[in-house]
Amino acid sequence: MFFRRKSIDAEIAGLERRREALDRQLQNLEAKLFTDHADTPHARRDSLVDGTVLEFETYARFTDQRHVRNAIGAATNRYVPKIKPKVWEGIVQVILDALTETAGGDENDLKASTRLCVDRYLRDVGFIDAPEKQPVHAQRKPALIDGCIAVSATDLHAYLNKTNAQPVSVKAVTSRLAALGAENIRPRSGPFRDQSRWVLPTENFAPADYCNWLLEGGTDARA
């Protein structure tokens, strides 16, 4: 029992020493990054210490020593020396523990960003009440089916690739529609029979908000 207790005490002391070593490494890293800028003009030094924002697109880049060192070096015009892998792992965990999560806005949320895209699409392209009255390129525009808005993934895909800087695939469009809660159907009767359509959830896409002219005229796509 005495020897076991002594072993535990030694392990705890070892962990404490490791923590203290990590603290010193962080302090040394901070000193290397910023203290060396003592000869930098005041406005520039404030910008480096307090105002510089380093952007990492992914978690992998944020925790990768090479990317972090390159980003800091580019921002400070100073070479950041390599850190031993084991020490870097401890530094990464300290950084992650200190993170404060904030909302990235609707544009960074899959469902919210899809809702914005579909809303813009519905307001821009207009609705049809039957495909046979339309030219070929307009036969898959949004429509009302059983009182709900139904869209074609193919037409939405064409719209997004025309209006967005970054192209998307049809598969990506259908995945986003599914995440939004849309239901894929293929009507067996009515003017839109045999067309693959995605019925949008009415709680997010009320027909009255987009196609009053169809509602006021009493014209439903299934009529």
> pLDDT, tens digit, for every residue of 201-210?
999 999 988 8
Q: Closest Cα partner for 198 from 188, 211, 187, 206?
A: 187
DSSP code, position 217: T
Instruction: Say if residue 62's pLDDT is above 70.
Output: yes
What's the token pair of residue 54?
């380093």
Mean of pLDDT values over 160-185: 90
Instruction: Say if residue 96's pLDDT is above 60.
Output: yes
Q: What is the pLDDT of residue 203?
A: 92
Q: How long is the chain?
A: 223
Q: Closest Cα partner for 156 from 117, 214, 182?
A: 117
SS3 58: coil
Task: Count Cβ atoms below 10 Å from residue 59 Cβ, excluding itself.
Answer: 9
Query: In the chain, which residues fall in CATH 1.10.10?
Result: 107-216
Q: What is the pLDDT of residue 187?
A: 85
> What is the C-alpha end-to-end distance of the chain, expressed in Å?
86
Q: What is the pLDDT of residue 136?
A: 86
**What's the chain's average pLDDT?**
76
Could you tell me which residue, 66 or 15, shows the higher pLDDT?
66
Mean of pLDDT values over 47-59: 64
* 222 vs 108: CA distance, rounded Å: 36
CATH class of the region 107-216: mainly alpha
User: Helices (DSSP H) in 134-201: which residue ranges?
Assistant: 153-163, 170-180
* 171 vs 164: CA distance, rounded Å: 16
* 193 vs 209: CA distance, rounded Å: 25
Whose tokens are 């990590």? That residue is: 22
DSSP code, position 47: I
Instruction: Say if residue 47's pLDDT is above 60.
Output: no
Residue 50's pLDDT band (cuts 50, 70, 90): very low
Q: Do 151 and 200 meet the contact criterion of CB atoms below 8 Å apart?
A: yes
